[in-house]
Amino acid sequence: MRVVSEPILVTDTVRIPGSALTMRAVRASGPGGQNVNKVASKVELRVDLGRVEGLGDRARQRLQALAANRLDAEGRLLVSSQESRDQSRNLDIAREKVRRLVTAALREPRARRATRPTAKAREQRLETKKRRASVKRWRARPERE
């Protein structure tokens, strides 16, 4: 594993320093012809989320929640990319994935306001239920006398 020196700039105030990023190149899965056993083009990028600069407490909690399924044993975010045959391109793709994830954590979710169905909507729902019940009654086996 090697440390990536270039930081990821998310916004003017939020950035991930290069020292918080580590990269490892591994062999990509799938077809590759003669190159398949020689070229390590898949990139695994690990991010120490505790070292992300400029995040507020709530944004940091949202980032932890968004990244929960992608954390490794040490609690670092693991992002991989094998979309391209080029290692440097895969590194760029992985960095963009991290940037998008942090950007998503910066957005405050809108509060959900409870709403009620309109009278017309309730009426239509009941009418549909009556129609379905009628169809099912007609399909039923006739009663014996």
Residue-wise pLDDT for 22-47, tens only, equals 888 888 876 666 666 677 888 999 99
Mean pLDDT of all residues in 11-27: 88
Q: pTM, whole model, 2 decimals?
A: 0.72
Identity at 116, one-letter amino acid code: R
| Mean pLDDT of all residues belonging to the chain | 88
Q: What domains can you pick out in the chain, each with its CATH number?
A: 2-106 (3.30.160.20)
Which of 137, 105, 133 minimizes the C-alpha distance to 10?
105
Contacts of 113 (CB under 8 A, 6+ apart): none
Cα–Cα distance for residue pair 86/76, rounded to 1 Å: 25
Q: Supply 136's token pair.
A: 């099912």
Pair 52, 11: CB distance under 8 Å: no
